[in-house]
Amino acid sequence: MGLRGFQKQSEETARMKGTFRKDRYVKKDKKIDGLEYLESIPKPSESLNEDGKRYWNNTLNHLIKNGFLIAKIDLFAFEQLCYKYQLLIEFTKEMNEKGQTYVNKAGKVRISPYVKMYSETLKAYLSMSRMFGLTPSSRENLHSKPEESEEDLFMLFHL
C-alpha cells in the first residue's frame, strides 16, 4: 500500500515552485530538537563483517556528504540495515554456489531455503532503507540538502 495523505516536498521543489517558507524546513544544525547529528562517520560495529563495514562507511559518507540528517541515536537502526545488507550478500553467494533449487530425498525439486531467507531479508532491508532515504520515494520525506552527482551514486551502490 502506498503512502497516504499529503507528501512533503523537498526544499528545492518548493523554491522552484515559489512556495518556499523558511519555517517549514529544518536547518542542518549540530543539534535540532535535542538530538545530536553526525558530522563525521563513526567507526562501524565489530558485529559487522567486511561487506557490512564497507556498506556502513560508504553509505554514511554519502548521506552526511549530501546533507542528510543522521542522529547518533539512529546508529543502532543503521547498524541493523548494514547487517541486513551483509546477509543479502551472503545469501546471494550461497544461491550462486548451491543453486536456487535442490532435489529432496523423494526426488522432487524444491526451492532452496536461501531463496526464502533472501526474499525476507530483502523486504526488511528495503523497509529499513526507507528510514534513511535510500530509496527514491523516501528521499522526498527526509530533511536534507541533496547535491548528488552520478559518480557519488555509482560509488555508493557499486561497493
pLDDT of residue 159: 55
pLDDT given for residue 146 in this prediction: 44
Identify which has the larger pLDDT, 42 or 143.
Answer: 42
The pTM of this model reads: 0.68
The C-alpha torsion from 95 through 83 and 69 to 12, rounded to 10°, is: 10
Tens digit of each residue's pLDDT (9 = 90 or more) over 19-74: 877 777 665 555 556 788 888 999 999 999 999 999 999 999 998 888 788 889 99
Q: State residue 115's pLDDT score.
A: 95
Q: pLDDT tens digits, residue range 74-103? A: 999 999 999 999 999 999 999 999 999 999
Angle in degrees, 0-180, between the axes of helices 75-98 and 50-65, rounded to the nearest 10: 130
Q: What is the pLDDT of residues 114-129, one digit of tens each?
A: 999 999 999 999 999 9
**Residues 62 and 150: beta-carbon distance below 8 Å:** no
Q: Is the dihedral of CA 26, 31, 33, 37 positive or negative?
A: positive
Q: Is the pLDDT of residue 148 over 60?
A: no
- Reduced to 3 states (helix: H, G, I; strand: E, B; else coil), residue 107 is coil
More confident residue, 112 or 23: 112
Cβ–Cβ under 8 Å, residues 102 and 112: yes
Separation between Cα atoms, residue 63 and residue 57, nearest integer Å: 10
What pLDDT band is residue 145 in, cutting at 50, 70 and 90?
Answer: very low
